[in-house]
Amino acid sequence: MPRLYRYADHSAVDRNDRRQDRAHGRTGAWRVHEIQSAGTADQAGRSCRHRAMAGIASRGIDQWTGNCGCRWGDLNAMSDRDMTMKGHLKPFKDLKPQHFLWDVSEDGRVATIRLNRPERKNPLTFDSYAELRDLFRDLAYASDIRAIVLTGAGGNFSSGGDVFEIIEPLTRMAMPELLAFTRMTGDLVKAMRKCPQPIITAVDGICAGAGAILAMASDLRLATPEAKTAFLFTRVGLAGADMGACGILPRIIGQGRAAELLYTGRSMTAAEGQAWGFYNGLHVGADLESEAVKLARSLADGPWFAHGMTKTMLNQEWAMGIEEMIESEAQAQAICMATQDFRRAFEAFAAKRRPEFQGD
């Protein structure tokens, strides 16, 4: 599995692992001997599963670097100290990931991530999990991207973890490997919540399992009337407690409704999702992505530094009492008031013109 939890949730470990990778020139490429196929779909499926197990067996789950495939130019060469400096932020417009599509607006402000395995309803693999996780982590250092649209190709969002490339190998793993995998998938959710850019998910068709989690972990969600969203983990003998679902989903739609979906694994219709607050709006399929981009554009052209602060406080205040909430928001708002954007907004209002936010 690709880079499964070498990056622990401890900054010191994270920095040390990244430095070791750079020092040794690791590219993250995973190579195993090809298994010959007789050409049938069944044999092809077995070949894929054998390669997955061979990679795990030869390296061990915690050592498999995977093939995350992002080409970052000189971004990876920067030290963590340098990357915290504004002068060393880098544009992500020309990023070339391997396991999903990446499209950026001409001005670099709005990026679209497209899960792109339409023939299988865009399932996730070990490598796509890891590449998405690393991308959302690194977006904190983007000098251009201000909002993200996450969608799927071919009329579906995502069917979740690939049955043959993830589920079947998981049935053969021991507990340490299984825990490494579940922590890795959880790290994707944490990276989505921590990245400063608002994430707008555009959901059409099937949105199931880990796909439903990606939608849940986003900041805003749009869908088509045909969208079907299912947290179907219990259907395969697993708990509804996956990737933060038992904590995050009740905060979006309420405890009782979340319990129903997580216990039964049934599909939530788009109409239910909108009525319950999961979806912020429904649009016909032909308009879905354009509406998501339009929403992302409105955020990207707005006070994007302040949007990042709002996202941070929405995350942090879950575990606060009322006094901590008020004090934390007092400090957060004071920080925003100290920016030039706040002054620009006042001057634009006084001059009766639209403000141009620069994030400083």
Residue with the larger pLDDT of the pair 6 and 223: 223
Mean pLDDT of all residues in 63-86: 44
Mean pLDDT of all residues in 225-246: 95
68-300 under CATH 3.20.20.70, yes or no: no
pLDDT at residue 264 above 60? yes
| CB 116 within 8 Å of CB 101 | yes
pLDDT at residue 42 above 60? no
The alpha helices in the chain, defined as continuous H runs, are 11-24, 41-59, 80-83, 126-138, 168-170, 175-194, 210-217, 245-253, 255-264, 270-276, 285-300, 304-316, 322-337, 340-350
Write out pLDDT tens, residues 88-113.
799 999 999 999 999 999 999 999 99
Write out pLDDT tens, residues 184-202.
999 999 999 999 999 999 9
Q: What is the pLDDT of residue 86?
A: 61
Q: What is the DSSP string of 88-111?
A: G-B--TT---SSSEEEE-TTSSEE
Write out pLDDT tens, residues 275-328.
999 999 999 999 999 999 999 999 999 999 999 999 999 999 988 999 999 999
pTM above threshold 0.95: no
From CA 11, how far away is CA 15, in angstroms rounded?
A: 6
Q: What is the pLDDT of residue 88?
A: 79
Amino acid at 296: A
pLDDT at residue 161 above 50? yes
As a whole number of Å, the CA-based R_g of the chain is 21
Mean pLDDT of all residues in 149-160: 97
pLDDT at residue 269 above 70? yes
Confidence of residue 87 (pLDDT cuts 50, 70, 90): low
Arithmetic mean of pLDDT over the chain: 82
